[in-house]
A and B are shown apart, each in its own frame.
Chain A
Amino acid sequence: MHELTTTRHNHLIDPVLHVWGWEIPVYLFLGGMVAGMMIISGYFLFKGKTKNTDCSCFLAPLISIVLLSLGMFALFLDLEHKLYVWRLYTTFEITSPMSWGAWILLLVYPALIANIIIRFPDKLSDRFPKLKELSNKFAGKYFLIKNIGIINMMLGAMLGMYTGVLLSTLAARPLWNTSILWLLFLTSGLSGAAAFIHMIAKDVEERELLAKADNGFLTIEIFVIALMLIGLLTSTEVHKDAATLLISGSFAPVFWVFVVGLGIIIPLFIQLLAVNHKIKHTPLAPVFVILGGLILRFVIVQAGQVSHYINAHF
């Protein structure tokens, strides 16, 4: 028998780490969604496919700004020393994903704004004539637009990856300590974003396109999850224990039912039927995907905090 006891009883640490509550998962989720939307809209700009992608290219960046701000607000709420938040911008710490994240977020805003301005809709011109003017100046400057697309894609990808890297560099928590987490969060962000645009887009073609894209992302996501679990299971004992938390442990019901089942497989199935015109497009599938993405962040953040090293205390 092996008995391990500790007298330590630190708030938020013991008996298991629970420093992060809802704020960080929400932040990561919103960051992921925004990342996905940036990549999608950036892609359309880059490809010049701007005809039927009004929503992706205008509404999505606009909503992104809101979502990103909400996400950053969630992060802010999580900080324990809020008055010092400006300290993030007095230094750049090369080894710290969070520092990278802070600066990436700072760059994301202008990129998103540039994106919005390119396709500034006529409807709003009356109210913001200055912006319309600016938008007009961009018009026809394909090289510039293309580059704005590239920048949006790049920053989106960085943002999406960062949300995963943030956790995976915290090597002390074996569940996070997997080099594939960034890919999971990135694909999940993409699928969430595609689902979101699919849901809100008015243009039928755009919707169809994004549903198809979403199916692709969801399929990849399944593989990524499988790869992640296999990776953990074939690693050290502590990583195995971590994977077990999701596969059969205390997080298994939520993980299998909400993340994999309702969040990926069922919407994938519905959307496959929809794109093959067997059924009509419904907002049900995208809502499931989005909620699945949110729950995925919750599960990973919470289970990751529970997962522990050998000789950890419980």
Chain B
Amino acid sequence: MDSLSRRRFLKITGASIAAATAVTSLNSVVKGAKTIEEKNGSVVKGIQKIPTYCDLCFWKCGAIAYVDNGKLWKIEGNPIDPLSNGRLCPRGTGGVGASFDNERLKTPLIRKSVRGEDQWVKATWDEALDLIANKMKKIKTNYGPESLAFFSHGIGGNFLKHTFKAYGTNNITAPSFAQCRGPREIGFELTFGDVVGSPERTDIKNTKCLVLLGSHLGENMHNTQVQEFADAVGAGATVIVVDPRFSVAASKAKHYLPIKPGTDIALLLSWMNVLVTEGLYDKDYVEKYGFGFEQFAAEIQEYTPEWAYTRTGIEPAVIRETAREMGKNKPATLVHPGRHATWYGDDAQRARSVALLNALLGSWGRKGGFYTPYKFGLPGYPYPEYPKPEREPADNPGKKYPFAEGELLSTGLREATITGNPYPIKGWFVYATNLMQALPNQQETIKAIQNLDLLVVVDVVPSEIAGWADVILPEATYLERYDDISDSPFKEGFIALRQPAIDPPHDQKPNWWIAKKLADKLGLSNYFPWKNVEEYLDTRLKSAGLSLNEFKKTGIIKRPPKPIYFEDGVQPFFWTQSGKIEFYSLKLKEHGFDPVPKFTAPEEPPAGFFRLLYGRSPVHTFSKTQTNPILNDMMSENEVWVNADIAGRYGVKNGQYIKLKNSDGVISNKVKVKVTERIRTDCVYMVHGFGQTSIRNRKTYLKGASDAQLVTKYKMDPLMGGTGMNVNFVTFEMEV
């Protein structure tokens, strides 16, 4: 993939939006937004409602913060926001706890002994930023600017990204690609020439048949998806859930398929086999848009339900029945592409299988399938050109993973930091990502950190990764700061504003301030022509004929509606090599991969071991909400789900504490057992993000067990370098 189809796609949508001049100006439904004058003055009496958007995860729901006599009270959904429809998810509703959190960092901290030893001196911002700037300058002179890597997750990193691009590095990454949706995007891109994106372009609301492979909606609380899921269930859509665990979504399903972990490709191939052999697929659609269907059809002939049964454990009759159900409801059948797709190392091909199944059903581009999203398309700030890095990014030397495109491999940068290949990485600047929990194999992360000359962490609490830093910078929470404007691709084009509801309680600073100040100290002031963030935002808005003052009242501005389905006039466009939906992938063929996905059986757990699976709790986001007093009160530790028969055999009781030991001998913290019928006998399950080891967070310290700690093995996706993490086996340690 020499040129990025994704980028091309976005450019095209951007252009078409720019053509649409009319901007729906909304009446200010939300009263009492703070003005800049008020903010600098005294406490405002009574209740103020301040529109902003949520930052408890990356969905970016529009919200309204309530401030009661100058004190933050609660936060609700913004009714005019198309993502939240006026209702936040539990994390969003508990978001005010992020501000109240008494574990928060208050001032910059500089490490005073060896890395990882928890000893710090308080510093002023000037001291801290001078230290960072000096080290960064040294790294630049000694190794080149690319030797500084920026790990950043979420929109809060935008301004710092700008600083680092100005500094000259292109090693900018997030754990959201190689540890999350990377394989999915590549699998879909190889098939349809476009990614699924975030928010997912899934038209769950209008689907008549929803197939969930893993995607545990209802526990995974990506707001709009859950709302639409409930609507679909309420409207009587057929739900088919494939999961080794009887998830919440499974309880809503007409068909629950308790699949053997890691065998989804086999099931997907056999579904496609049934659709093709029984002629249930969307023939017109495939004929019109498909490429290489014959080769594909010939290849999948052998994958009968009987063949799949021995691999997946799903009865042939069930496979046929569910395939027919999908065929019957096409094209309004949505086989959900999932999001956290880095499971078994064959993930891009699994995602491609999902894409192909959707292609057979004709659901891509169709109502009840995958809609065609569009953005508001707010122009960027007219910044000066960035210096051009002399070296390619270090994450994927020699293009080992030919399809690692669009974003960098976080684990690849870690590898480069350890090996110095293709060139040394000497500094990490980490913004809002807890790499200790996010990246597989913590020992490798620690090893990489030991090679660094500089590790800076910007966080709101003393997180685990902050514990390893040389300098910790305390950020203001999302309720206390401006951020960049959110401009997500969705069913409607809209932009959302994040603005402070209250001031930071201590010496915390917003990311834009840190980015600008650091740039000043690096001699890069010319990259920050604006005085403050309001000016930046206003400039961007003005370029679209809008103003910050108006925006502050509504928090959301929408474009007029546009068609989002093929049937409503969206022009189908497939940015693949053939310009069509590739049932047979030319690019994969070219790089020596299977042009039509093939199934390889996953490794079996050794006797007495169970595959470790993990997922989400509705009230937490990864490892970032555990210190939030409100959300901690909802769930303060995780449990390990153990099948009741297995529990009986091993004599573990419900509620008992045990430890888990993985096949590399790593032993977890003690964790409560949930004895349940709701999981297969060959795996155990836990919610990700617990068992944290930052001793300064009393609320989270060693509460529950950490799946990340037990993920010592990971399987690289040969296509795109994703890290399959469902490949670890654990056994029970009764002594705690």
Spell out A's residues near B (CB within 8 Å).
Answer: 1, 3, 5, 7
Contacts and interface: CB of A to CB of B under 8 A. Distances in A.
Contacts of B458: none
B676 A3 contact: yes
Nearest to A1: B677
B677 A7 contact: no
B121 interface: no
Contacts of A7: 634-635
A25 B25 CA distance: 68
A5 B672 CA distance: 14
A3 B677 contact: yes
Interface residues of B, number: 7
A7 B677 CA distance: 19
A3 B676 CA distance: 7
A105 to B, nearest CB: 40
Given A3-B677, A3-B678, A7-B635, 5 more contacts: A1-B644, A1-B677, A3-B676, A5-B674, A7-B634
8 contacts: A1-B644, A1-B677, A3-B676, A3-B677, A3-B678, A5-B674, A7-B634, A7-B635
Contacts of A3: 676-678
Nearest to A314: B655
A3 B677 CA distance: 8
Contacts of A1: 644, 677
Give the 3 A-B residue pairs with the shortest CB-CB distance, closest first.
A1-B677, A3-B676, A1-B644
A7 B637 CA distance: 12
Nearest to B633: A9
Nearest to B675: A3
A246 B235 CA distance: 51
A1 B674 CA distance: 14
Interface string B631-663: 000110000000010000000000000000000
Nearest to B655: A15
Contacts of B674: 5
Contacts of B634: 7
A9 to B, nearest CB: 9
A123 B634 CA distance: 67
A1 B678 CA distance: 10
A244 to B, nearest CB: 21
Contacts of B677: 1, 3
Nearest to B654: A3
A1 B634 CA distance: 26
A5 B635 CA distance: 13
Interface in B407-456: none
A5 B634 CA distance: 14
A7 B634 CA distance: 7
A1 B635 CA distance: 25
A165 to B, nearest CB: 37
A7 B619 CA distance: 12
Contacts of B644: 1
A56 B659 CA distance: 64
A5 B676 CA distance: 11
Interface in B649-705: 674, 676-678
A7 B632 CA distance: 12
A83 B678 CA distance: 50
Nearest to B674: A5
Contacts of A5: 674
A230 B677 CA distance: 37
A192 B674 CA distance: 48
Contacts of B676: 3
Contacts of B635: 7
A10 to B, nearest CB: 11
Nearest to B639: A5
A158 to B, nearest CB: 45
B294 to A, nearest CB: 50
Nearest to B619: A7
Nearest to A3: B676
A1 B676 CA distance: 9
A7 B617 CA distance: 13
Contacts of B678: 3
B271 to A, nearest CB: 31
Nearest to A7: B634
A147 B644 CA distance: 68
Interface string B250-285: 000000000000000000000000000000000000
A313 to B, nearest CB: 12
Nearest to B676: A3
Interface in B98-157: none
B732 to A, nearest CB: 20
Nearest to A15: B655
A63 B674 CA distance: 55
A173 B674 CA distance: 28
A215 to B, nearest CB: 47
A8 to B, nearest CB: 11
A103 B676 CA distance: 52
Nearest to A2: B677
B117 to A, nearest CB: 36
Interface in B307-329: none
A7 B676 CA distance: 16
A286 B677 CA distance: 54
Nearest to A9: B633
A304 to B, nearest CB: 24
A5 B654 CA distance: 11
A42 B677 CA distance: 63
B246 to A, nearest CB: 11
A2 to B, nearest CB: 9
A7 B678 CA distance: 18
A6 to B, nearest CB: 12
A5 to B, nearest CB: 8
A128 B678 CA distance: 77
A7 B633 CA distance: 10
B596 to A, nearest CB: 42
B652 to A, nearest CB: 15
A46 to B, nearest CB: 58
Nearest to B644: A1
A3 B655 CA distance: 13
A5 B678 CA distance: 13
A3 B674 CA distance: 10
A5 B677 CA distance: 13
A5 B655 CA distance: 11
A7 B636 CA distance: 11
A5 B644 CA distance: 15
A13 to B, nearest CB: 15
Interface in B616-636: 634-635
A1 B648 CA distance: 13
B690 to A, nearest CB: 16
Nearest to B634: A7
A314 to B, nearest CB: 10
A199 B634 CA distance: 56
A286 to B, nearest CB: 44
A5 B674 CA distance: 10
B221 to A, nearest CB: 15
A11 to B, nearest CB: 12
B429 to A, nearest CB: 39
A3 B644 CA distance: 11
A218 to B, nearest CB: 42
Nearest to B635: A7
Nearest to B678: A3
A7 B635 CA distance: 8
A196 B463 CA distance: 65
A23 B676 CA distance: 39
A5 B639 CA distance: 13
B219 to A, nearest CB: 13
B694 to A, nearest CB: 24
A303 to B, nearest CB: 22
Nearest to A5: B674
B673 to A, nearest CB: 13
B679 to A, nearest CB: 12
